[in-house]
Amino acid sequence: MDLENQRRVKEFAEKYGPENVVVVLGASEGEAAGLAAETVTAGDPTFAGPLTGVQLGLTVYHVCEPEIKEEFDPDVYEDQISMMEMVLDVDDIVNEMSAIRDEYCKYL
């Protein structure tokens, strides 16, 4: 994850309390989504950014996951995102994200 984005995530977790922060991702592949999710839960796996060794355990979802999708206004989702479901491998993304959440999320 971009270093500046990591810094922002860390700041918001400190400011609002990690239990009040939710991270929503838009990655194009399962693996990339998993890496970003790992970064905001278990720490930066690439050891490059401000989240290296920081286990925030934030709640994190990909925008196409069913649990979070059902909370959106369906018309908004239809306009903004629906077409990408035909493009992305949503099953792969869901698998990667679920695995990370089960292991590292502290506030579910």
Partner 1 sequence: MNAVIKGASYILAHVPGMVIHNGSTQITERIVNPESEYLKQLPEHLRTYQQAVEYWPNQVYIGNKTPEELAGVEFPYYDKPLAGAGRYGKFGEIMPEAEFLLLMQCADVFDVLLLEKGFVAAHRDELAADPVITEDIAARVKEGAEAADIERFVKEEHAEGLYADGKLVGCVKRAHDIDVNLNAEVMHENLVNKASNTLALLYAVRNAGIEKTDVEYVIDCSEEACGDMNQRGGGNFAKAAAEIAGLMNATGSDSRGFCAGPSHAMVEAAALVKAGAYKTVAVTGGGCTAKLGMNGKDHVKKGLPALEDCLGGFCVILTANDGVNPEVNLDILGRHTVGTGSAPQNVIGSLVADPLERNGLKITDIDKYSPEMQNPDITKPAGAGDVPQSNYKMIAALAVKRGELEKKDLATFASKHGLVGFAPTQGHIPSGVPYIGFAREDILAGKIRNAMIIGKGSLFLGRMTNLFDGVSFVIQANTAAEQSAQSGVSESQVRGMIADAMKEFAAVLMAKE
Partner 2 sequence: MAILKDKKVVIIGDRDGIPGPAIAACVESAGGEVVFSSTECFV
The CA distance from 93 to 34, in Å, is 8
Q: Which of residues 45-104 bind partner 1 (CB under 8 A)?
A: 46-49, 79-84, 86-87
The CA distance from 10 to 79, in Å, is 31
Residue among 20, 21, 19 at smallest CA distance from 9:
21
Task: Report if residue 31 touches partner 2, rule: CB under 8 A.
Answer: no
Task: Report if residue 73 touches partner 2, rule: CB under 8 A.
Answer: yes
Residue 52: what residue type? T
Contact residues for partner 2 (CB under 8 A)?
A: 1-2, 4-5, 8-9, 12, 16, 20-29, 32, 36, 40, 59, 61, 63-64, 67-68, 71-73, 76-77, 79-81, 84, 88
